[in-house]
Each structure stands twice: as structure tokens, then as C-alpha cells.
Structure 1
Amino acid sequence: MPGRSCGSCTACCRVLEIRALDKPAGILCRHNTGRACGIYAERPEACVQWHCLWRRIAALPDALRPDRSGVVFGLERRHPGEGAPEGACIVGRAPDGEEAFARWEAVEAFAMFVREGSLPVWKAYARHAILMNPSR
């Protein structure tokens, strides 16, 4: 979205699993400089293809930037739920704990994605994942 940039947010450097770097999800990437990616020009394909939905969707308020809200929304190829089939889904991740989901920005964002209805919507934190629109 024009005018939106990561700024000093590096939440994706923590939440993503990057197999090419042998980096598990939930652990800060060793290439994170504290303000940016230290290997941005040569970053792995998993990083290139992942997109923070806050940067892509105008309806998500500025307060929902991941480093401000504690929630990272992404379009993912693999459902975070155990035993769930592969397929596109929207996942809101709270790397510092589920209390971030109680913020009004996160509540509204989850409601918007569920209302839109074209993809499964998940809340994920720690080792937990909750499907928000189970009729899918």
C-alpha cells in the first residue's frame, strides 16, 4: 500500500519459520540488526514471498503495525493448526502472547477477515492455533 513501510518493525524476522536459514518460528532471525534485515538483498525466497497484510490492506489501521500492536497478520500457504490441510489462509500471530488479540485493532481486523469470508482465518500464539471461522 502506498505510504506504508516497515519502518523499524522487524516482527516478521521473529514469527516466520525460515527453513533455508534453519530458523524456527518464534525465534528472532540471526540476521536481524534490530532495525532491519542484515541480508535483505540476499534474503531467502520464504522471506521474499511473505507479505505483512498491514502493509497491503488499507483498512488495517496504523495502530495495527505489528511492532505497535503485537499482532502480525500474514497470508500463508500452510494452516497453523495441527493436522489442518495445506491451503491459503490468513493468520494473525501474537508472538508475545494472546493478550495482544484483545486490543481493539486486532479484534476489528479478525472480524473484518472473517466477514470477508474467502479464506480460513487463524489466531496463533505460542503453540496454539484457533480457527476463527470454523464453518469453512
Structure 2
Amino acid sequence: MSEDNESHLVANRECGECTACCVELLIDDKDFKKPAEQACENLMETGGCKIYQHRPSVCQEWYCAWRFMGQLDESWRPDRSGIMLRSDENGIIFQPIQNPREVLIRDRAIELIGGGVAQGIPMSLSIPTKSGFRSYGLSLNEPLEEAVASRNLVVIQDKLLELIDFAASQNTSPIPILEV
């Protein structure tokens, strides 16, 4: 990540003991490969990276959205919230790292998702399907628009659960086996 991009990180916010990106993400870079949903070979049992000072650039340059979003408190750190937030050119992706039916319907998740939908910020889910298979990506804005407009927590939770169940039931391709 360039120094300019690093300047967008929330001051004094560190990953701490969180290792979600070291486990959950697929890394298929020319200099480094790691399968999704498997701990990186450099992740120490006590947390942290064995090669931190010399880790690949793909690891040095990636941060979850929690590191950028100043409005989120410490409870949103992925290992605490059970959700890894990722940002890309298409908005914010909610990737649950704990049970999606629990973590995605908590009040704080509903507030963030609903607020984004209401403001027209693209929001999406990346929901696990079967073990060993890719997650299913699902845009939330259109399917949640009516529920969010109702401003009724139960209505929004019910719709989100319906979307989570739909995504989890989809047939996706196997997670690729990477040659390391």
C-alpha cells in the first residue's frame, strides 16, 4: 500500500490479536499463495506473523475496512465482531467469519448495512456455502431497500436471514487448490 493510502488508516488502530485476514482470505499472488479458509503457513500459534518484517507486499498492502472506517469502534475488529469488512470499488463487503445467521443480524450490523443501503452505498455479503467451496456474493441494496425503508429492525432481520439462507444454499465452485 502506498504511504498515501496508509494515511487513510484510522490513527492508533491496529490489528492487535486479530488474524482473520491471515485465515479467511484467498491469496493468489505471483509472490505468495494461500488457500481461502486456511491459516497462513506463517501465522504463529500465538498470533502474529513469523515473517512480519519481510512479509509479501500483498500482505503489507491489504487492510480490512475496519482499519479505514473511523465510525466503527473496537467492537468491529473482525475477531470481535465475527465479520471481516472488505472495501472495494463496489462498496463494502460483509464477510462473516462466525455464524452468519448470528453476526449479521446483530443491531450494529443492521445499523451499518441499513445505513449504507439508505445512503446508496453499495453493500454486499460474501456468505460461506459448503466447506471447500467458494462463498456466494450477494448485493444487498435492492433486496433490502424496502425493509430498510420500513425502519423496522425485525423486518430487516427477517429479510437478511432470508438472503443469508439463499446465499448459503447456492452451488459455488470449489476453492482452488493452489500450487505453492
Q: Name the structure 2 match of 1:92.
A: 94
In structure 1, the residue matched to 2:178 is none
CA distance in 2, matches of 1:134, 1:41: 43
Report 1:52-131 matches (<5 A).
Answer: 52-76=64-88, 87-98=89-100, 99-118=102-121, 120-126=122-128, 127-131=135-139
1:93, distance to aligned residue in structure 2 (A): 0.5
Q: Aligned to 1:123, what secondary structure does the other structure show?
A: strand
Amino acid across the alignment from 1:112: G
Q: Which runs of 5 or more residues in structure 2 are unaligned?
A: 1-9, 129-134, 144-180
SS of the residue corresponding to residue 25 of structure 1 reads: coil
Question: Identity over aligned residues, as a percent?
Answer: 32
What is the rounded CA distance, in whole Å, between the counterparts of 2:60 and 2:91 in structure 1? 18
**Secondary structure of the corresponding residue to residue 63 of structure 1:** helix
Are the equivalent residues in 2 in contact too, given 1:97–1:125 (CA < 8 A)? no
- The answer as to whether partners of 1:50 and 1:75 remain within 8 angstroms in 2 is no
Residue 57 of structure 1: how far off its partner (Å): 1.1
* 1:60–1:109 CA contact under 8 A, matched in 2: no
**Residue 13 of structure 1, CA deviation:** 0.8
Confirm or deny that 1:31 pairs with 2:31: no
Q: Unaligned regions of 5+ residues in structure 1, if any? A: 77-86
Which deviates more from structure 2 when the two are superposed, residues 28-37 or residues 38-47?
38-47
| AA of the residue aligned to 1:32 | L
Distance 1:117 1:96 in 2: 27
CA positional deviation for 1:62: 1.9
Task: Report the residue type matching 1:115 in the other structure.
Answer: A
For this pair of structures, how many residues does the alignment match?
Answer: 124
Offset, 1:69: 0.8
2:18 is the counterpart of 1:9: yes
1:134 aligns to what SS in structure 2?
helix
Q: Which residue of 2 aligns with 1:47?
A: 59
State the secondary structure of the residue aligned to 1:102.
Answer: coil
